[in-house]
Structure 1
Amino acid sequence: MASEATTLTVDGPNGPREMRISSPGRVLWPEPGITKLDLANYMVDVGEAFVRANGGRPITLQRFSENIDGEQFFSKNPPKGAPDFIRSVKVVYPSARTHPQLVIDEPAAAVWAVQMNTIVFHPWPSRAENSDNPDQLRIDLDPQPGTDFDDAVPAAIELRAVLAEAGLTAFIKTSGNRGLHVFAPIEATREFLDVRHAVIAAARELERRMPDKVTTAWWKEERGVKVFVDFNQANRDRTMAGAYSPRPLSHAPVSCPIEWDELESVDPRQFTILTVPERLKATGDPWADMHSETGNIDTLLGWWQRDIDTGLGELPFPPDYPKMPGEPPRVQPSRAKKAAD
């Protein structure tokens, strides 16, 4: 017997495409009963804004075997049998290995990804044609245990001021969970390590201004009850959920762009697969003009050098990275203390 399937017509820059969705009734989010077809229709509804935010970039797909509670894995290169309009670009990973990475160019490609059981989309901060040089500075504000979204809000507002002093225009979105993501469009002329250093400089400046609320401590045991500025999200091949990407949490939330004047009053739980399409229709896309003007990270790199000159050095890299120049030991502070005793 043929498997259950349906077809969606998806408009795009190259005309409509007929996209097959198998197992459309499979429930991906059990609590609200949201199905695979519901997710595919969501991607059609938000397709233009989704592609504007995430398209033309190397992208990693977070795919699930059954539903959000099932097995999951990350897919970077196009699977066999991908439609001929799905392209890839070769990128360099931290290991110095080169490999093709998926690129989404139109809404039908996002719907195809849903057919491949994708729930979360993780775009690079650089464009496919210039993948070594990010055109977005991204900062992840991650509330630690004992803090929540409301604690990230004042940190984001102050971070916006910090970036403005550095000549950058900040945009903001909910993470889809408890945190906030702050982006700033930048000239694509600096490589990832420079952008990482710019992020660290901004994070340290924010920490100075809010020492009781914000931390740049990499080790969890040192963070306290604060909002962590996750500077390692700025590294090559490190990504966060893209704008309008769903998240695998029980209420089917979406990482949703918002206006700055909404920030102090929004409830991030209200942005879901079921509500965001109507929001887009009613209010438009807050990120529509993000890249109409770009800044540069020269001022932030000046702050980085200032901090280096006063004794603040490099910060730890992710554990799977090769040892980097100037990096402190990758030893948990409590373990290092025990070894020294």
Structure 2
Amino acid sequence: MGELRFVVQLHRARRLHYDFRIEVGGVLVSWAVPKGPSLDPKVRRAAFHVDDHPLEYVAFEGVIPAGTYGGGDVIVWDTGAWVPYKDPDPRAALERGELHIELHGQKLRGKFVIVRTRGDEWLLMHKRDEHAVDGWDPAAFPRSVLSGRSSDEVKADPHWQWRSELPADRAAVPVRGAVSDEELAALDGLGEAGTWEVFGRRLRVTNLSKVLFPGRGGEPAVTKRELLRYTSAIACTVVPYLAGRALNLHRFPGGSDTKGFWQKALPGRAPDWLPRWREPSSGTEYLVAGEPAALVWAANFGGLEWHPWTSPTDRPDLPSYALVDLDPGPGTAWADLLVLARLHRTAFEHLGVAAYPKVSGRRGIQIWVPVRPGPSFAETRAWVEELSRSIGAVVPDLVSFAWERAGREGRARLDFTQNAVNKTLVAPYSPRPAPGAPVSAPIAWDELDDPALRPDGFTIRTIGERLAERGELFAGVLSNPQRLPPLS
């Protein structure tokens, strides 16, 4: 049996508790654990079996309306993959009243056992293994692993509402996926500069009429005011990809017609409410954009490109994604790059690996593969390199590799070197400094067959309509961690 998903949601309904849910037979088998799971093998937690939940609930974070079952706020306290051990049939083990599981989450790791005592009452315990931690208290880790937000922050500004009367695939309804009309009107009412209240923060914004990007195809130029409008509209969608991660800002303080530079340190420029993280080995301080207003602040600061680390700040040595970068070389035809992307699509389908493509907003295609915590950067880099070599062997005349620094004329570059600490790919929906302000846009795999697809075809003026029509195509990277299978 392959890996299955689990989630622990911190849920404040009539009383605070942790909902412990594991995927079994196409549903989430669930228990309410009042004091929460622990890594301390001496601790036995009471767990009360509750109704199964649909698989679509595995990534839900938001509010359940008052007056309905479970009404209250919910955060994704932990999530990841699990595998059974001792008994390969988890459903039969549950019916017998004793299930042994191994969790691969961001907070919970190692072997657990859940045992029925009577009726719907169970006990949840961690086994004595290499992941056991004496005295480990879940209350010491209160924030969401998806958004980095606390329960209070989600309650104050929920992005999603769960409507149980709707079909499960439509039950998560956006509450506030964008900035309010009143906040946008306030921005429009400012002159060249002023104080803008947005997402509960007061931001000093400047140079609002400054042209950042020339127009495209006869359209007017894009000003800083329009960039702030876009950033505030997309921020709630982007922040889950940034939360809990150091953010490298590619700044263009003179506009996109000047050379940008990486801004890692933030010496005295950021407001006090904006979280920082200090990298242990270098002491460099980074912005951590855990709330929408932080991204708006960064855009006003000249951060026109957003590059989150591929590892979280609590374990910067362990990547969350394996990255595939299909980078056109000098003279590479777009049609040839699409051939390579389709070969990757076939490879991932054959391997049973969930991977999520996006156009770069410039010339290339990037693919993110969510991985469970555990592999090192060296291991993800080696895996992507082996994949690249296998695909390159099919079409050797189309590719060059990362070790060929200059690339070869007319050949695409398969770059696995981004799988390293502080190596990044641009975030989904980030603007790129080019005419029309194109964005790095998630795509569905079948769009690789669309002759109209272009790497810079979606802009800050068109991506909102696409999101409304196609939905959030990249969301699976946040809730589908997996083990990278062997390639040979």
Band of TM-score, shorter chain: 0.7 to 0.9
Matches within 5 A, 1:90-109: 90-91=278-279, 96-109=281-294
CA contact under 8 A between 1:168 and 1:185: conserved in structure 2? Answer: no
The one-letter code matched in structure 1 to 2:328 is P
CA distance in 2, matches of 1:255, 1:183: 13
Give the structure 1 partner of residue 174 of structure 2.
none
Q: Deviations over 1:132-157 (max 9, x none)?
A: 10011111101112213332112112
Q: Tell me what 1:129 maps to.
A: 314
One-letter amino acid of the counterpart of residue 290, structure 1? V
Q: Which moved more, 1:122-131 or 1:109-118?
A: 122-131
What is the alpha-carbon distance in structure 1 between the residues aligned to residue 406 and residue 316 of structure 2?
A: 34
Equivalent AA in structure 2 for residue 269 of structure 1: D
Q: Specify the alignment match of 1:297 in structure 2.
A: 484
* Equivalent residues of 1:217, 1:223 under 8 A apart: no
**Kindly tell me: are residues 19 and 134 of structure 1, through their superposed partners in 2, closer, same or farther at Cα, counting changes over 3 Å?**
same
* Closer, same or farther: CA 267–81 of 1 in aligned 2, 3 Å: closer
Counterpart pick for 1:67 among 237, 255, 261? 255
Structure 2 CA distance, aligned partners of 1:143 and 1:180?
9
| 2:207 partner amino acid | S
C-alpha distance in 1 between matches for 2:346 and 2:483: 16
Q: Does 1:78 align with 2:266?
A: yes
Query: In the TM superposition, what is the alpha-carbon distance from 1:290 to its structure 2 partner?
Result: 2.4
Seen in structure 2, the aligned counterparts of structure 1 residues 192 and 9 have a Cα distance that, compared at 3 Å, is same
User: Is the contact made by 1:25 and 1:37 (CA closer than 8 Å) also made in structure 2?
Assistant: yes
Equivalent AA in structure 1 for residue 193 of structure 2? A
- What's the counterpart of residue 332 of structure 1? none
CA offset at residue 56 of structure 1?
A: 2.3
1:55 to 243, 246, 254: 243
AA matched with 1:131? P
Q: Does residue 240 in structure 1 map to residue 420 in structure 2?
A: no
Aligned length: 293
Which position in structure 1 is the counterpart of 2:298? 113
Partner of 2:372: 187
Q: Take 2:284 and 2:410, find their aligned partners in 1: how far apart are those partners?
A: 40
Tell me, yes or no, if structure 1 residue 226 matches structure 2 residue 414.
no
**Residue 258 (str. 1) matches residue 443 (str. 2):** yes
Q: CA deviation digits over 1:52-108, x for unaligned, max 9?
A: 22332111001112211124321113341412331122335xxx5343322111111
Distance verdict in 2 for CA 1:9–1:152, change over 3 Å = farther
Residue matched to 2:401: 216
**CA contact under 8 A between 1:27 and 1:67: conserved in structure 2?**
yes
Could you tell me which residue of structure 2 aligns to residue 5 of structure 1? Answer: 193
Distance 1:7 1:223 in 2: 50
Give 2:316's aligned amino acid: S
Normalising by structure 1, we get a TM-score of 0.79
- Amino acid aligned to 2:347: V
Bigger Rg over Cα: 2
- The residue type equivalent to 2:212 in the other structure is L
- Name the residue aligned to 2:475: 288
Q: Distance in 1 between matches of 2:316 and 2:420?
A: 12
1:36 corresponds to: 224
Query: Measured at CA, do residues 22 and 192 of structure 1 come closer, stay the same or move farther in structure 2, by a change above 3 Å?
Result: same
Aligned equivalents of 1:222, 1:228: Cα separation in 2: 6
Which residue pairs with 2:455 in the alignment?
A: 268
Contact kept, 8 Å, 2:242 with 2:308, in 1: the verdict is: yes
Quote the Cα distance in structure 2 between the aligned partners of 1:227 and 1:115.
Answer: 35
Deviation per residue, 1:97-136 (Å, 9 max, x gap): 3433221111110000011111111111112222210011
C-alpha separation in 1, matches of 2:223 and 2:459: 14
Contact 2:440–2:456 (CA under 8 A) maintained in structure 1: no
Higher strand share: 2
Tell me by how many angstroms 1:243 deviates.
0.8
> Partners in 2 of 1:37 and 1:164 — Cα distance?
43
Partner of 1:331: none
Residues 217 and 127 of structure 1: CA distance in aligned 2, closer, same or farther (over 3 Å) = closer
Q: CA deviation at 1:39?
A: 0.6
Q: Is the CA contact 1:148–1:179 (under 8 Å) kept in the aligned structure 2?
A: no
Structure 2 counterpart of 1:333: none
User: Larger % of helix: which?
Assistant: 1
C-alpha separation in 1, matches of 2:309 and 2:329: 25
Work out the CA distance in 2 between the residues paired with 1:36 and 1:222.
36
